[in-house]
Chains A and B, each alone.
Chain A
Amino acid sequence: MSEPLIQLEHLTKRYGAITAIEDVTAVVDGRIIGLLGPNGAGKSTLLKCLLGLIPYEGEARVLGLHARTHGAEIRDRVGYMPEQEAFLSGMSAVELCTYAGELSGLPRTEAMQRAHAALYYAGLEEKRYQSIDGYSTGMKQRVKLAQALVHDPEILFLDEPTNGLDPRSRDEMLELIEDLPIRRSCSIVLSTHLLPDVERVCDHAVIMHHGRVRFVGSIDELRDTRGRDADLFVEVKADAARLADVLAAAGATCNVESPVALTVTLPLDATTDLVFRRARDAGLQIRGLGVRRETVEAAFLRVIGNGDA
């Protein structure tokens, strides 16, 4: 796929006096892209523009197609998993997904086959003939995912896919999301407020705030890479404070974060060896160690915070 997924040039959308999107120019590409931003940042307006559902100023291209003129074609090649309920009552999962396929232009038999395949993939084998009205939250989320996959999209927009899921189901959903680009060769745009999810699955991110794009790029680029090899986080079995004292005596700078965790900045010429030795001498057990990297959440807050000025 030579075309980048999404190309925006001076994209602007105004609702009367309110500017929802302001002069955005960006190229968005990647396998799993996180679309992040506080409420009201313009994410849903952006989505509506990309799907060709509302008029806008400037240029917006999805898979090389102009959203303004080829909206319907884009929607045939793109799948959308909405945040809210989006069902028709009185239908089973299979019927809904088949209908979804047909509405995206697939012939009926093809739609039926793919509906079943999509539901299997989403983990809804046994219940797929039952009416959706009786489904639990987790099952409804899976149906929403399946109906977005039926027509073989090249891009999948997921809006808060782990909403309302308990930890196990969230895990399974995230595994599915990680698997999709590999198994079904589609790219994913993931819109969510749960930054650890982004940390886990995304390789790129787009951050919006007040209608502007504050960041576009890979997750690695997002993180502050100012951390050096000497900046560590350390986890112990117990008594982090004592380890901090011991290491401080050896010249390191430490900061206790919890009874079992601390950050350590090694003195010049020292290696992680120092930490292990001193811990052993003090009878403390190291359970975790690594170079401090900024979490996606911290990076996000930093980007948003800076932009407020």
Chain B
Amino acid sequence: MSDATGPRSSGADSLRPAGTIHDLGYKRYVGARLASSTRWLVVMKNHIAHAWKTWWRFKSSLGLAVIVTVIAGGVMFLLQDRTVKGVVLPSGIAATLTDGTLPRSIQWYSRVAFLVSLTIGARVVAGDVQSGAFTFYFARSVRPRDYVLGKITGQLVLVGMIYLAGPLMLAIARLGLADSTDQLIDLLPVIPKALAVGALGTLAFACVPLGFSAIVHNPRYAMALWASYYLIVGGMAWVLSRVTDSGVAALDLAASLDRVAFWLYDLELVWGRAKRIDPYVALGSLLAHAGIAIALVVWQVRRAHLRGIGGAS
């Protein structure tokens, strides 16, 4: 593979260009190494890129979220003055669809986020334990906290693309449908409310499945366990709540999110699951779930951190 490096040929006295053989041998890396405090970013980016790769892991759910947003937005726009059965302003007057759709859409985002939690969330840590990924990570300059931070932020970003972006879009749409500038200014708080609800939903659906992923060593069992908790335990909690008239229903994450959404948007549900829960209990439940889940992830990563390094002996 030769390369002309002789003097540029220019007219009569041009020499025949000399040949060169390039040394393709091994070169040591003498560049800088990035600080180890940035490792978590690498983990996060990898997590997101990995989720993005196939259509079923994340992109399909994102598509569903877009559909939900479009439909909800469409409803808000086209059926502006119709009222929603079952949603009332604190004074008791039925709310319009435009207002009511905001909190009502939350349950749909919850469903899509639940899908994502199945395809990615509940498998994360369990899958890594099973495939020996911890040996891979921790024999390098990656610390357990880098892994935990990277995975959690990665999952937050993914779920946030559904749960933060969606309600935010709808809130902006709501503003866009304001009758007058005055009303628009009145309605401005809808944006931070949407962000707050979105943040809570993102937190819940990103962290809690990760927690389940951390306590079971098999990704499929982790998925099943999370699904049973979310659907069955949650559903039974709500039934119990009706019977005992307590706030046990807060265990149902979907119901808690619903409750917080309605409370933030200053609307009331006339009937339905969310009604029975005190909003502060719901809020506390969500935060507690997320906190416990993160703690479980940290525990499992610390425990398995040295596994596989040094081999069987």
Chains A and B belong together in one complex: yes
Interface residues of chain A, those whose CB is within 8 Å of chain B, are: 37, 39-41, 43-45, 47-48, 51, 53-54, 71-73, 75-76, 80, 82-91, 96, 99-100, 102-107, 110, 114, 117, 147, 151-152, 159-160, 183-185, 191
Per-residue CB proximity of B107-132 to A under 8 Å, as 1/0?
00000000000000000000110011
Which of A41, A45, A85, A99 is in CB contact (< 8 Å) with B131?
A: A85
Residue from the list A86, A91, A106 in contact with B132, Cβ < 8 A:
A86
Q: Tell whether B50 is near chain A: CB-to-CB under 8 Å.
A: yes
Enumerate chain A residues within 8 angstroms of B142, measured Cβ to Cβ.
103
Judge whether A54 and B306 touch: CB under 8 Å.
Answer: yes
With CB as the reference atom, state the residue of chain B lying closest to A183.
B26
Selecting from B32-40, B228-236, B250-258, the interface stretch reads B32-40
Of the stretches B3-11, B15-23, B133-141, B285-293, the one at the interface is: B133-141
Q: Are B132 and A87 in contact (CB under 8 A)?
A: yes
Chain A residue numbers with a CB within 8 Å of B136 are 82, 86-88, 96, 100, 147
Known: A86-B132, A87-B136, A105-B34. A47 touches B141 (CB 8 A): no
Can you name 7 A-B pairs with beta carbons within 8 Å?
A45-B310, A51-B139, A53-B309, A84-B132, A105-B36, A107-B34, A159-B311
A82 engages B42 (CB within 8 Å): no
Q: Which 8 A-B pairs have the closest CB atoms?
A: A44-B310, A105-B33, A83-B311, A86-B135, A72-B141, A80-B139, A152-B29, A85-B132
B313–A44 touching, CB < 8 Å: yes
Given contacts A75-B141, A80-B139, 6 further A-B contacts (CB under 8 A): A41-B313, A71-B141, A82-B132, A83-B312, A106-B34, A110-B31
Asked if B46 is at the interface of the complex by the 8 Å CB criterion, the answer is yes
State how many angstroms separate the Cβ of A197 from the closest Cβ of chain B: 15
Taking A76-B140, A110-B31, A183-B26 as contacts, is the C-beta distance between A44 and B132 under 8 angstroms? no
Task: Name the interface residues of B130-160: CB closer than 8 Å to any CB of A.
Answer: 131-133, 135-143
Q: A76-B141, A86-B135, A184-B26 are in contact. Are A107 and B308 (CB under 8 A)?
A: no
Which of A76, A84, A183 is within 8 Å of B308, CB to CB? Answer: A84
Contact B33 A44 (CB under 8 A): no
How far apart are B151's CB and chain A's nearest CB, in angstroms? 12
B28 touches A72 (CB 8 A): no
Q: What residue in chain A is nearest B136 (Cβ atoms)?
A: A86
Cα–Cα distance between A41 and B310 once the two chains are bound (Å):
12
Question: Is the beta-carbon distance between B309 and A80 smaller than 8 angstroms?
Answer: yes
Contact, CB under 8 Å: A48 / B29: no
Residues of B within 8 A of A (CB): 25-26, 28-29, 31, 33-36, 39, 42-43, 46, 50, 53, 127-128, 131-133, 135-143, 305-306, 308-313
Interface majority SS (helix, strand, loop, mixed), chain B:
loop
Smallest beta-carbon distance A184→chain B, Å: 5
Q: Given the complex, which residues of A lie within 8 Å of B43, measured CB to CB? A: 103
A53 touches B312 (CB 8 A): no
Q: With a CB–CB cut-off of 8 A, which chain A residues contact B25?
A: 183
Q: Please tell me which one of the listed residues B26, B28, B39, B306 contacts residue A53 in the complex, with CB atoms under 8 A apart.
A: B306
> Measured between C-beta atoms, what is the minimum distance from B299 to chain A in Å?
18
Smallest CB-CB separation from B139: which chain A residue? A80
Residues in chain A near residue B137, CB distance under 8 A: 103
Q: Is the CB of B140 within 8 A of A89?
A: no
A86 and B308 form a contact (CB under 8 A): yes
Contacts A89-B131, A151-B29 given; does A53 touch B311 at CB 8 Å: no
CA distance A82 to B308 in the complex (A): 7
In angstroms, Cα B22 to Cα A251, docked, is 64
Chain A nearest CB from B160 CB (Å) reads 22
Chain B residues near A117 (CB, 8 Å)? Answer: 26
Q: Decide yes or no: A103 and B39 within 8 Å by CB, A48-B309, A75-B139, A76-B140 being known contacts.
A: yes
Nearest Cβ on chain B to A78's Cβ, whole angstroms: 8
The answer to whether A48 touches B39, judged by C-beta atoms less than 8 angstroms apart, is: no
CB nearest to A71 among chain B residues: B141
B309 contacts across to A, CB distance below 8 A: 44, 47-48, 51, 53, 80, 82
Which residues in A have their C-beta under 8 angstroms from that of B29? Answer: 106, 110, 114, 151-152
* Docked pose: A191 CA to B306 CA in angstroms: 18
Q: With A107-B34, A114-B29, A184-B26 known to touch, is A39 a contact of B313 (CB < 8 Å)?
A: yes
- Chain A residue, CB-CB nearest to B138: A53
Q: How far is the CA of A79 from the CA of B140 in the complex (A)?
A: 8
Least Cβ–Cβ distance between A268 and chain B, in angstroms: 48
Residues of A within 8 A of B33 (CB): 76, 104-106
Complex-state Cα separation, A54 to B29, whole angstroms: 28
Q: Say which residue of A44, A88, A100, A152 sits within 8 Å of B311 (CB atoms).
A: A44
Which residue from B36, B53, B312 sits with its C-beta under 8 Å from A84? B312
Contact residues in A for B141 (Cβ distance below 8 Å): 71-73, 75-76, 103-105
Residues of chain A contacted by B139 (CB below 8 angstroms) = 51, 75, 80, 82, 86
Which chain A residues lie closer than 8 Å to B311 at the CB level?
43-44, 82-84, 159-160, 191
